[in-house]
Amino acid sequence: MKTLSQFITATALYLVVASVNANPIYYQVSNEGGDRWRYDYTVANNTLFDIEQFTIYFDYTLYDFALLPSAAFPGEFEVDANDYQGPPGWDVFVAPDADILGVEEDGFFDAFALGDLLEPGDVLGGFSVSFTYRGAGAPGRQFFEFFAYDAQGNDIFGESFTRPLLASPVPEPSPLSLCLLGLLLLVAGRKKTRTTQI
């Protein structure tokens, strides 16, 4: 029984850690002509937590954005608002790469839920951004971070890389439900074995 208890504890800890790092953001990339490209993102929440925000980074050596003079900050520039969008209920923002105290920082696409958070098992598309790609071939995966909350309201942070969208994403069973199913089968098997031995 002690071994079973240790197994359950280890599995639960693994699933929480794995689920935080397993949240995929899928992308489709399309060429808009020449070196102009567009990413369309779909977020599939395969974690156990409600996702509030995610940030996708654009390597400053590979990506450029169309910049316009900033109305809010004279002398500054901002990414053309026509080059990015998000679904209703989400605030999206794109920041170009920047030289901060002599260190070049990557640009980023940031999306923040204004109302309902992205719940476990939900899939949401409608995020996109256009850019100039300076690399060879087609653009690929990108590093991203996401921010979520657990049932007690604690902050959860995760990170991974975007994945190409090959087909429509189908939510997978949550790791917790798979673990519970396995435990149920294990307990049912033990009871059956004990009953047979008597």
| 88-131 per-position pLDDT tens digit | 999 999 999 987 778 889 999 999 999 999 999 999 999 999 99
| 145-190 per-position pLDDT tens digit | 999 888 788 888 889 999 998 754 455 555 666 666 677 667 766 6
pLDDT of residue 14: 47
Residue boundaries of the structural domains of the chain: 1-17+173-198, 29-164
Q: Which fold has domain 29-164?
A: Immunoglobulin-like (2.60.40)
| 129-144 per-position pLDDT tens digit | 999 999 999 999 999 9
DSSP assignment of the chain, as one string?
Answer: -HHHHHHHHHHHHHHHHHHHH---EEEEEEEEETTEEEEEEEEE--SSSEEEEEEEEE-TTTEE--EEE-SSSTT-EEE-GGGEE--TTEEEEEE--EEETTEEE-EEEEEEESSS-B-TT-EEEEEEEEEEE-SSSS----EEEEEEE-TT--EEEEEEE-EE--S---PPPPHHHHHHHHHHHHHHHHHHHHHHH-
pLDDT of residue 102: 81
